[in-house]
Chains A and B, each alone.
Chain A
Amino acid sequence: MSARKFFGRILPATETARVPTRSSRRRFLQHTLGAAGAATLALPSHAADNAAQGDPSILKPQPHRIGLGQPVATFGYGQPSQWEKNLQRRQSPGLTRVTQSSVAFTPLQGSFGILTPNGLHFERHHQGWWDIDPSQHRLMVMGLVKQARVYTMDDLMRLPSVSRIHFIECGANTGMEWGNVAVPSVQYTHGMLSCCEFTGVRLSTLLDLSGFHKKTARFVLAEGGDGSGLSRSISIEQALDDVIVAWAMNGEMLRPENGYPLRLVVPGAQGVSWVKWLRRLEVGDQRWDQREEVLHYVDLMPDGMHRQYTQIQEAKSVITSPSGGQTLLDHGFYNVTGLAWSGRGRVKRVDVSVDGGRNWRTARLETPILSKALTRFNIDWQWNGQPAILQSRVIDETGYVQPTIGQLRAVRGTRSIYHNNMIQSWKVAENGEVSNVQVG
């Protein structure tokens, strides 16, 4: 294969052919991407005139270089650039019928590193969200305790705090893909996933303060202060291990949609256990069999039985770019990048395939690599213009290897909704268009 053919339809940007190349790329973009893609993209428009001199973005004086910029504190709370408006939380049309009991997905396709910006953290509410007055918020710890106790936010924020980075993933993330491909992009396949640095007091501190009954305490019920009074049981072992009663995310107070002023952080467990607007913790000797433990968040198996209390988010990974709904600009080099995580601990290794799972190469893991947190991986890839199928496969510190959709279906069928941690496949077509596919 000649170099010319390898680099394909769009001519390589050599020194002598530079400007015509950009011009032809512009035509390609307009053709391929249409008005929405090209109209907002500042590409040179007088390319031919300046062919001899070079790029007008360099040669012409830029307004921001020769004028005066905006003053400090123009925005008391800063905003993303006007050029980043495409990256928004979005709903999946038809998934739910009412917006108060629904989901807004995080735009993972535009993510960098491992932390999710607070404004893009996914949302899942059961009966709408509230912006609760923190001075009126109370947390009660009761049940099998020496003394039922009440805490104000003032009280809680006086206690020794910890800050930990953890992922939160809805148990139903990727749930639409059990039977077949249903949604087009990583925002909708995997966007019920976020990762933040959470700050709060360890749950064990509060349980100690109440004097929980060590011999009989087996479980803790966490309950929210919203209309759903959302409630989930967690084990006492978990509660005393790494669970946090958190008021902050990524250096600021929780956002209202994420439980302001107080939520539970249950590392490794599905999002529903991370009770928002947390107002009550009850210590008990049995699980509570609440609505989200009997009627929802139960996984239907092929024999008609439901698995109950499935809460650990097993190891999972996904390539975030290139991913569904994106079109590659050119042949040649790409940094394939993605996220890997495990509810059982640290990510040990991520492998990437570009041929639909036949051959694999091990990707670079970026630091930090933290327990029950997202881990970023990257790997080099030369796209030669041929169709390709990109996949990633994580191995966590327990040695567990992320399964294929076929392996999952063999055990769980296609109707279990929750805990789909399959290897995700993205097809790259010859025209550069990337789409969601399933292979077998």
Chain B
Amino acid sequence: MCKLDKHALQYALQHALQYLRPSTDLHNRLRPGVRLMLCVVLMLFTTYSVAQTKYPGVGRAATAAEVSAWDIDVRADFKGLPKGSGSVKRGEDVWEAKCASCHGTFGESNQTFPPLVGGTTATDIANGRVAALTKPSEGRTTLMKLSRISTLWDYINRAMPWNAPQTLSVEEVYAVTAYILSLGNVVPDDFVLSDQNMAQVQARLPNRFGLHMNHGLWSVQGKPDTNNTACMHNCTQQAQLRSELPEHARDAHGNLAEQQRLIGPTRGTVTTRVASAATSTTATSSDTNAAKSSTAHAEARALATKHACLSCHGIANRLVGPSFQEIAKRHQTDNQANTKLAQKIRAGGVGAWGNIPMPAQAHLADDEINRLVQWILSGAR
């Protein structure tokens, strides 16, 4: 009796099923004997849930190419990891071009996203636990939390760069992963990360033993970790106020009076400061030019928000790149400024304001670029 490999059987069955679907031409070409045989094989394979015939005509089999196009996940056991490799050196080049604008040259930037690197030590690498995580004063970087190298690889491959995900090659994903790990001294500067050595690098992750599931929050049946009781009378001493908003934060969320309904048992509390309330009454309705200009500014600002320009450029403050007002100031007397800036947005560039490159924004329409340039040069309010 021949012995069938399980995977081979699964593969054969998947294809057999395609042939069995009534809409498939091949169905009619198969001899009845073959069909019967396939059915018998299917019936023998009873560990699969079978309900396919219940809703005929709904859905279709996925092709192998379709599955492969979308099946990108990489698990902790490296199932799904494509073969390939990438060096720290190559990773540094990719980083400078595509990652540093948000994450900083050394992955340390806290301007756009929390820092990726920092807070880990050689002792952590030896222990597999990041000591700084026990210190309340320490911030948390990605590398401090990272317990699975597969997660970092998958994250970059799946979602980075932030504004152009899934555009990195397999080599670039390996390379950028290696570069980040080199910044945390997990791998040396001349390292080449590959599908062959991912497991060895996993064994050096500073926080590889830092996760657990000893809690009751995975399933509905889980056991809670607090045990309050439903006392009804004289339950506590006089309540002590432990925390309230400081006075200086009163207007941190705007004027709450404008965030509440205008009727009902309560009104919103006015939280604006007296000074700002006084100036708001000085605006005159006759100043239509100012109003128009203000609308144009608001629209352009919305455009800048939409395209994430404000992730890297502040209006008046420098983030990853220069502030818009700095740019306007530099180009005050430059009559080529419109063309230059439009070109800079469209194609990207580096050097004018430091060594962090501005990525190309080729997806913006010309009209959008022109509006943004006008707005920046007019002071970007």
A and B assemble together: yes
**A439 to B335, alpha carbons, bound, how many Å?**
62
**A293 to B213, alpha carbons, bound, how many Å?**
11
Between B49, B131, B150, the greatest number of chain A beta carbons within 10 A of the residue's beta carbon is seen for B49
Assess whether B256 is interfacial by the CB under 8 Å rule.
yes
Contact with B along A18-59 (1 / 0, CB 8 A): 000000000001001111110011000000000000000000
Question: Are A358 and B235 closer than 8 Å at their CB atoms?
Answer: yes
**A354 to B258, alpha carbons, bound, how many Å?**
27
Assess whether A386 is interfacial by the CB under 8 Å rule.
no
Given that A295-B145, A439-B240 are contacting pairs, would A327 and B266 also be in contact in the complex, using a CB cutoff of 8 Å?
yes
Q: Across the two chains, which residue of chain A brings its CB closest to B21? A: A147
Checking B142, B148, B165, B239 against A439 with a beta-carbon cut-off of 8 angstroms, the contacting residue is: B239
Contact with B along A291-309 (1 / 0, CB 8 A): 1011100111011111111
Contact with A along B219-232 (1 / 0, CB 8 A): 11010111111111
- By a CB distance below 8 angstroms, the chain B residues around A395 are 230
Binds A, one of B31-39, B69-77, B370-378: B69-77
**A147 to B58, alpha carbons, bound, how many Å?**
14
Question: Are A407 and B226 closer than 8 Å at their CB atoms?
Answer: yes
Assess whether B180 is interfacial by the CB under 8 Å rule.
no
Assess whether A60 is interfacial by the CB under 8 Å rule.
no
Question: Are B159 and A228 closer than 8 Å at their CB atoms?
Answer: yes
Assess whether A132 is interfacial by the CB under 8 Å rule.
no
**A80 to B375, alpha carbons, bound, how many Å?**
33
Chain A interface residue count, CB cutoff 8 Å, equals: 143
- Which residues of chain A from 400 to 416 have a CB within 8 Å of any chain B CB? 400-404, 407-408, 411-415
Question: Are B218 and A311 closer than 8 Å at their CB atoms?
Answer: yes
Assess whether A375 is interfacial by the CB under 8 Å rule.
no
Question: Are B211 and A325 closer than 8 Å at their CB atoms?
Answer: no
Binds A, one of B187-195, B241-249, B286-294, B341-349: B241-249
Say what secondary structure dominates the interface of chain B.
loop
- By a CB distance below 8 angstroms, the chain B residues around A212 are 48-49
How many residues of B sit at the interface, in one of the four size bands?
A: 35 or more
Question: Are B220 and A344 closer than 8 Å at their CB atoms?
Answer: yes
- By a CB distance below 8 angstroms, the chain A residues around B140 are 300
Q: Across the two chains, which residue of chain B brings its CB closest to A433? A: B269
Kindly provide the distance from the CB of B258 to the nearest chain A CB, expressed in whole angstroms.
6
Question: Are B59 and A149 closer than 8 Å at their CB atoms?
Answer: yes
- By a CB distance below 8 angstroms, the chain A residues around B133 are 300, 304-306
- By a CB distance below 8 angstroms, the chain A residues around B242 are 180, 437-440
**A408 to B226, alpha carbons, bound, how many Å?**
7
Assess whether A142 is interfacial by the CB under 8 Å rule.
yes
Kindly provide the distance from the CB of B256 to the nearest chain A CB, expressed in whole angstroms.
4
Question: Are A209 and B67 closer than 8 Å at their CB atoms?
Answer: no
**A92 to B249, alpha carbons, bound, how many Å?**
12
**Residues of B that sit less than 8 Å from A by CB:** 13-14, 17-18, 45, 47-52, 54-55, 57-62, 66-67, 70-73, 75-77, 79, 111-113, 129-131, 133-134, 136, 140, 142, 145-148, 150-151, 154-155, 158-159, 162-163, 165-166, 210-220, 222, 224-245, 249-250, 252-272, 277, 281, 305, 308, 310-311
**Residues of A that sit less than 8 Å from B by CB:** 29, 32-37, 40-41, 83-84, 86-88, 90, 92-94, 97-101, 107, 109-110, 126-128, 140, 142, 145-151, 155, 158-159, 180-185, 187-188, 205, 207-215, 221, 223, 227-229, 231, 235, 237-238, 268, 279-280, 282, 284, 286, 288-291, 293-295, 298-300, 302-312, 314, 321-322, 325-329, 334-335, 343-345, 349, 351, 355-361, 389, 393, 395, 400-404, 407-408, 411-415, 419, 425, 427, 433-440
Kindly list the 10 A-B residue pairs having the minimum CB-CB distance in the complex, ordered from nearest. Answer: A356-B239, A304-B133, A325-B256, A208-B51, A326-B266, A304-B134, A310-B217, A403-B226, A401-B228, A148-B62
